[in-house]
Structure 1
Amino acid sequence: MISPNPEQRLALSYAPPETRQALKTLFSLDETLGAIVRTTREPIIGQMRLTWWYETLGRLDTVPAPAEPVLAALQNEVLPFGVSGAMLGKLTDGWEALLEPDLDAGAIERFARDRGRRLFDLAATIVSVTDDRIGLAGEGWALADLAQKLTETAGRELARVRARAALDQALQGRWPSSARALGALAVSARFDMTSGAAGSGSPKRVVRLAWHRLTGY
């Protein structure tokens, strides 16, 4: 499976032991879908590959996973927490938005909702937490990631502004202990959207993430 960046790996380690592997596997699916978009030059090929994942994920609800490590891990480690293959398949919608010829505000909003919010909402199901801030944090996290990768100035700035607003709202108040892995991801993303912030993995950021783990703030 694809390994997340070190700071994301640290944040996910904050999850309760009984849900930690399921969350790591869920985010590995996100990394896998993102790699499809990053490595595809022809949008139609990207759409075909995402369609394969959409259909194959849906079949996890009824048949054994094919010989593909991410799919097998999802079936064994994520589905037992009440997340269906059909739910996982809908994550492809968010990544498909980036295959649009023009990445306008609508496509960016769709990416935030269908990648970020859906991913974090599924993670919330795994950790058994109901909190509206989690989906909002997912939107901000996805937009922050997008803002760092876009080269087109207008789209990058729109994603950055939307990310900051969503993350600032999501990080208000104390986060429940079982959801602090997700809160730490939001804290990390907010650092990325702060001008002059220390780089990923710096001592200042690691201490801030640890503080969130300890206090929920």
Structure 2
Amino acid sequence: MVNEPLSIAPLPRLLASYAGREAARHRLVWAYDARLADVVRTTREPMVGQMRLTWWHEVLSDDSGTKGRGDPLVDALRADPGLSAMRDALLAMINGWEMLLDPLPLDEDALRSFADGRGGGLFRALDHSADPKAGALWALWDLSGHIGDATTTQRAVALAQSYLPVPSRGQKAVKLATGLARHDIALGHTGPQALTPRLYLRLLRMAALGR
């Protein structure tokens, strides 16, 4: 695989470190998720954001391998032998992130579409045996710590609670991500804005206990 094409936030990087032989692919999927997040974060006009996300749809659907060639992330994804198996999940992530182009506050339907697309797709791309509902829970937990809109934050936490209980199945990296989100959401807490020392210690404790 080519060198990693995008920096990854500390929490996803730490989670990927528990993926064993799949760690490089996990980092690549997280990098792709970060690129989609960057599209949403830097878009001021929804139409422009939709065009940028459509570009990713076209990249992933281009069997000729020419669309986007030269983009480090695109090249890295195409170099991964598991791309074809992940394609549907990666496309679902685009559809999920697109929901965040809508004006705030987001309603429950938009949040559910975001969670199922971004979160469910993300977890399926990381581990085909993961439960998409666990991914949806994780996505809402993560969003609640970053969205910056109080109403949307409250709705995200409430909706995430409707996914409980979720099974923690699959590879260790996915189980740990599920466990972190499930802990906070069960208590009605939002996700963190960053990898705090408390969150880091909780993850280490979970990893040591095999959860």
For residue 215 of structure 1, report the CA deviation from its aligned partner: 3.6
What is the rounded CA distance, in whole Å, between the counterparts of 2:11 and 2:94 in structure 1? 24
For residue 30 of structure 1, report the CA deviation from its aligned partner: 0.6
8 Å Cα contact 1:191-1:197 kept in structure 2: no
Corresponding position of 1:189: 181
Q: Does 2:18 correspond to 1:14?
A: yes
For residue 165 of structure 1, report the CA deviation from its aligned partner: 4.5
Query: Measured at CA, do residues 210 and 82 of structure 1 come closer, stay the same or move farther in structure 2, by a change above 3 Å?
Result: farther
For residue 137 of structure 1, report the CA deviation from its aligned partner: 1.7
Give the TM-score taking structure 2 as reference length: 0.82
Corresponding position of 2:33: 30
Query: Measured at CA, do residues 75 and 9 of structure 1 come closer, stay the same or move farther in structure 2, by a change above 3 Å?
Result: same
For residue 151 of structure 1, report the CA deviation from its aligned partner: 3.3
What is the rounded CA distance, in whole Å, between the counterparts of 1:192 and 1:28 in structure 2? 24
Q: Does 2:152 correspond to 1:158?
A: no
What is the rounded CA distance, in whole Å, between the counterparts of 2:190 and 2:25 in structure 1? 34
Residue deviations 1:112-170, cap 9 Å, x none? 00110111012112xxxx35xx312210111012212233332211101222453x522
Residue deviations 1:50-101, cap 9 Å, x none? 0011111111x44256001111111112x43652545423321011111123
The worse-fitting range, judged by mean Cα deviation, of 179-188 and 48-57 is 179-188
Q: Per the alignment, in what secondary structure is the counterpart of residue 6 of structure 2? A: coil
For structure 2, the residue ranges without an aligned partner over 5 or more in a row are none
8 Å Cα contact 2:145-2:190 kept in structure 1: no
Query: Measured at CA, do residues 201 and 94 of structure 1 come closer, stay the same or move farther in structure 2, by a change above 3 Å?
Result: closer
What is the rounded CA distance, in whole Å, between the counterparts of 1:92 and 1:14 in structure 2? 25
AA paired with 1:100?
Answer: D
The worse-fitting range, judged by mean Cα deviation, of 107-116 and 199-208 is 199-208
Corresponding position of 2:101: 99
- The number of residues matched between the two structures is 203
Corresponding position of 1:213: 207
The worse-fitting range, judged by mean Cα deviation, of 26-35 and 195-204 is 195-204
Q: Per the alignment, in what secondary structure is the counterpart of residue 2 of structure 1? A: coil
AA paired with 1:151?
Answer: G
Query: Measured at CA, do residues 155 and 16 of structure 1 come closer, stay the same or move farther in structure 2, by a change above 3 Å?
Result: same
Corresponding position of 2:132: 135
What is the rounded CA distance, in whole Å, between the counterparts of 1:107 and 1:196 in structure 2? 18
AA paired with 2:17?
Answer: S
For structure 1, the residue ranges without an aligned partner over 5 or more in a row are none
Q: Does 2:31 correspond to 1:39?
A: no
Higher fraction of helix: 1
For residue 214 of structure 1, report the CA deviation from its aligned partner: 3.6
AA paired with 2:122?
Answer: L
Residue among 165, 168, 171 paired with 1:169 = 165
C-alpha RMSD over aligned residues:
2.7
Q: Does 2:108 correspond to 1:112?
A: no
AA paired with 1:30?
Answer: D
8 Å Cα contact 1:7-1:201 kept in structure 2: yes
Corresponding position of 1:3: 7
What is the rounded CA distance, in whole Å, between the counterparts of 1:38 and 1:199 in structure 2? 15
